[in-house]
A = this chain, B = another copy of it.
Amino acid sequence: MTDPSSVLDRMIRKFERRAPLDNGDRKALRTLPHRVQTIEPGMYVVRDGETPTRSCLIVEGFAYRHKVTVEGARQIVSVHIPGDFIDLDGALLNVSDHNVQALSRCEIAFFPRAAMQQLILDHPRVAMAMWVDTLIDGSIFREWVVNVGRRDARSRIAHLLCEFARRLEVAGLAHEYRYELPMTQEQLADATGLTPVHVNRTLQTLAREGLIERNRRFVAIPRWEALRKVAGFSETYLHLDQVKSNGSPPTQ
């Protein structure tokens, strides 16, 4: 179980690499009013069309954003992991354009919209650091457009698995390309624009070729370079140099 306060500290450390924070900035971050809440899998954190009243940060667990077309098809547009400041939209946009739903059981910290806006105005260095999060989110969305638009099922899924591997590694939640991915095949399908049936077959193919190993919700990538090549994966778009918190991650 991660200590919530350590997550805030990791956030501060991450931000500190982007802009030199002063004591006021750090204090403002540490004393930012918030409420931490446990969210059960499948519960909504944000609903499309609502007027947002808060921003939130994942302390623990996984969540995803998705939209549903008028025909009822669901598309997952991003998956978020502990440490991700999701829904910065909620601080500045007037209406939510998508849903956010918990993937696994989550601990989520909620920050009132007004407090976020005040923080932004009073602490421009903090704002700058948070804005970088928004920019990186945007970069990942762009790569997802490419993924669903121009890759076949095989490389599409491989790409998703590569992305998770690197992001989780940086977050300290994957080791040697092994990690837990709490997504059903239906959710993988919604993230890749495929059908669950085809995801199933494609995963089997990748496994048969020794490119991945899977067992329940665990994924391992025994031959990283090979899978990377199949995926056409290049991690530039993750901007990892601006994501890592300096200082050692909490070891537990």
Instruction: Give me the interface of A with B, judged by CB distance under 8 Å.
Output: 18-19, 48-49, 65, 67, 69-71, 73-75, 77-78, 88-89, 92-95, 97-98, 117, 120-125, 127-128, 131-132, 134-139, 141-146, 148-151, 192-193, 232, 234, 236-237, 239, 241-242
B75 in contact with A149 (CB, 8 Å): yes
Q: Is the CB of A97 within 8 A of B127?
A: no
Contacts of A128 in B (CB 8 A): 92, 117, 120-121, 127
The count of identical subunits is 2
Residues of B close to A138: CB separation below 8 A: 89, 134, 137-138, 141
Contacts of A67 in B (CB 8 A): 142-143, 146
A131 to B237, CA, bound (A): 19
Closest to A191 in B: B149
From known contacts A97-B142, A144-B145, infer whether A132 and B71 are also in contact, taking CB-CB under 8 Å. Answer: no
B contact residues around A142 at 8 Å (CB): 65, 67, 77-78, 97-98, 141
- CB contact under 8 A between A73 and B150, given known A67-B142, A135-B88: yes
CA distance A94 to B145 in the complex (A): 22
In the bound complex, CA of A151 to CA of B68 (Å): 11
Could you say which of A97, A145, A193 has the most chain B C-beta atoms within 10 Å of its C-beta? A145
Q: How far does the Cβ of A15 sit from chain B's closest Cβ, in whole Å?
A: 12
Quick one: given A69-B232, A148-B145, A149-B192, are A239 and B120 in contact (CB under 8 Å)?
no
B148–A149 contact, CB under 8 A?
A: yes
Known: A125-B121, A236-B49, A237-B97. A92 touches B132 (CB 8 A): yes
**How distant is A140 from chain B, measured CB to nearest CB, in Å?**
9
Q: A120-B127, A124-B127 are in contact. List 13 more A-B contacts (CB 8 A).
A: A19-B121, A69-B232, A70-B234, A78-B142, A88-B135, A92-B128, A93-B132, A97-B236, A117-B128, A120-B128, A127-B128, A134-B135, A144-B145
